[in-house]
Amino acid sequence: MNGFQWIAETAIAAAVASEFVPRRHTLSLRVRALRVVILAAAAGAIARPDDVTRVAHVFGIGRGADIVLYVLALAFVALSFYFYTQQLRLRRDLSALASQMALKEARRGGTGLPGERSAGDRVS
């Protein structure tokens, strides 16, 4: 293995090991297992690039580098969508919070059209 491979494999091994450290995880077991599988695949691809080429040939792709590129492109699309839905979820939570604040701070204006109104009052 060359220097890059050693560094990459060490980093990946550390990432995999951290998944098994007992602590309070925020992600589900299924997601964490998927992450370990992806990391293991990455470690295998870095350690044995010829195997990647063999897998590429199975799919009718000439070079191992090409199949890695295709997988990365698909992963980018999937991740983009994931972050988009996360952002939507966050926005909904923010809106719910904003709504609660608005409902608590409701104010009533005067009793007539401007010029003939009296002082307003406030909810709660």
* 38 vs 88, beta carbon nearer another protein: 88
3-class DSSP state of 17: helix
Residue from 29, 1, 36 nearest 15 by CA: 36
Residues of span 71-110 touching another protein by CB under 8 A: 81, 84-85, 88-89, 91-92, 94-95, 98-99, 101-103, 105-110
Q: Which x/- pattern over 1-40 shows residues binding another protein (rule: CB under 8 A)? A: ----------------------------------------
* 40 vs 98, beta carbon nearer another protein: 98
CB atoms inside a 10 Å sphere around CB 99: 10
- Interface residue with another protein among 2, 22, 112, 124 (CB under 8 A) is 112
Least distance in angstroms from the C-beta of 83 to another protein? 11
CA angle 35, 39, 41 (to 5 degrees): 115
Q: Which residue stretches of the chain are H helix?
A: 3-19, 29-47, 49-58, 64-104
